[in-house]
Structures are given as C-alpha cells and as structure tokens.
Amino acid sequence: MKRRALLIGGSGQLGTELWRQGEHGWDITAPSRTRLDAFDAQALSAAVEASLPDLIVNCSAFHVVDLCETRFADALAVNALAVSVLAKAAERIDARFVTVSTDYAFDGAGRIPYLESDAANPIQAYGISKVAGERAALSAHPEGAFVIRSCGLYGHAPSRQKSGNFVLARLADATTKRIIEVGSDLVCTPTSAADLADGILNLLENGAAPGLYHLTNSGSCDWATFTAEIYRTASVSSQVVGVNRGGSYAPARRPAYSVLDCSKAEAASVSLRPWQEALADYVSAIV
C-alpha cells in the first residue's frame, strides 16, 4: 500500500513538480486553494486530522517580496503561523513534515556560500516571516520536520502570486525590446523547481535526518548573467546590459549575496546539477 502524503500548495511551481514526481511512491492528496486556504489555521489542522498522512509537505507561501513590506501580517499568517500549525499537527500524528524556505534568511553581507549553521539575519519582511516559520517548524516537530531553503525557483506551473517566473518574464521582455537592463548586483543560484522537487523526494527516500537543509542547483550567478544564459539557450538576439543597482530594489531590500552551501544535503547523497544544465532543459521545453 502506498504511503499517504498531504500536499499544501500543490498547484504552484514546486507543488506541481512534487505531485508529478511523487505519485509513483505516494498516495498524494493536494487540496486546491479554494478548498484549503493557508490563511485558515483551523482548516489546515482539520485537513491533517481528516487525512492522517504519513507525510505533510507545505509549498504554500506568501512570497511577493515587496508586498510583504505592506502586508506583513498576511506574510506572517502564511509563512509562519500556517507552518507552525502544520508542524504541530504533524507531530501529533507522528508524520514527517517538509516546508520550504528561502535564501532571504540571510543579509547578504558575506561572500562565501552560507551554511545551515550560519546565523539567519533577514533584511526584509519576507525573510523575517520565513525565518519565523523555519523556527516554528523545527521547534514544534524536532524529530520529524525538514526545512528546505532554496532560491529563485522557476518551473512549468507559473507562480500564481507572481504571474509567471523570472525566465518567462525575461523571454517576454525579449519580444518587445532589443536591449534589456537587468540587475548585476545580486548573486544567488536560480533553481529549477523540477530539480528541487527531485532533491526533496530523494532526501526523504535516503533516510536523511530531520532538520534544516540548503538545496539549490549548483554554482552561482547574478541575474544579468542568468538572463544572458536564458537568451543564449533560447537563441534570442536581445542584448542584456547588467546594471549595478547597489541593492536598491525598493520597497524591500535584497541580500547582495545569498548563495547557499548544499554540502549537508550532499552528505545525504542529494545534489542538484549545475544551474546552466537545469536552465537549458527548462528552456528547451518551453520554446
């Protein structure tokens, strides 16, 4: 008999991939947002009690970074309170719990990939709410919670809140512009949702210990370099001009450097391929 999994946020970029890739090994229940809203803490708890899953995966998030500055209460409700509710519910029924967090846990002052043991120091409301969710999950269910930090997701199911993703937005720009300015001052690791989903499932299957993990494609780049690689791979002739904005992306501040060290996941036999390879596969599937 298949193990049971409850997937919250199953229609998003990562949730869609987890559902698709996990179906062979799990009996997955993934309520739509109209049936189960992450803002409704009571409904979340009731959903867990009704399905009694072996695994709960939370892909829901309030992740429009700038909007979090003016809707901090909403960001906390989804990114922290809902996580706490789900982690406590998972602990009550002895289920494993996975929730996804962000490289924005860090302030970006460093220039060496961040370890899980490095102190979190978010510099915007979004990061603060996500770190609160991390701590809530690990505190509520230390024996069964997995917190997965990643970065810059793009996938085949467009983000509802963001109306797409970075790759699709830059390809759209190229249909109307020959010269496109893109920030060159933020360094991170854009990550394929398909690759991240595969990595999360492998962590679970490999018997990795619960806790905090960094998981991204390997390597790093700034967003202008990433855009240039999108255009090269898609055979787009538009020219990318990198612009150093000095971190000024008002209203929310962004970390200048947020590359994550994924060696802990690698020690559990989970590693993701270089970002260039992941991007090439994604672009070839959509153009």
The torsion of the CA quartet 213, 218, 223, 229, rounded to 10 degrees, works out to -150
Q: Which of 190, 161, 154 is nearest to 68 (CA)?
A: 161
What is the three-class DSSP state of 55?
Answer: strand
Per-residue tokens: 182:
């893109």
User: Rounded to 5 degrees, what angle do the CA atoms 81, 215, 268 make?
Assistant: 110
Q: Which residues lie closer than 8 Å to 248 by C-beta, 6 or more apart?
A: none
Residues paired with residue 6 on neighbouring β-strands, in sequence order:
29, 56
Q: What is the CA radius of gyration of the chain?
A: 18
Per-residue tokens: 191:
């990550």
Residue 132 and residue 111: Cα distance in Å, rounded? Answer: 24
Determine how many CB atoms are found less than 10 A away from the CB of residue 158: 16
Question: What's the chain's length in residues?
Answer: 287
Q: Residue type at 74?
A: D
**52: left (phi > 0), else alpha (psi -120 to 50), else beta?**
left
What residues act catalytically? 126
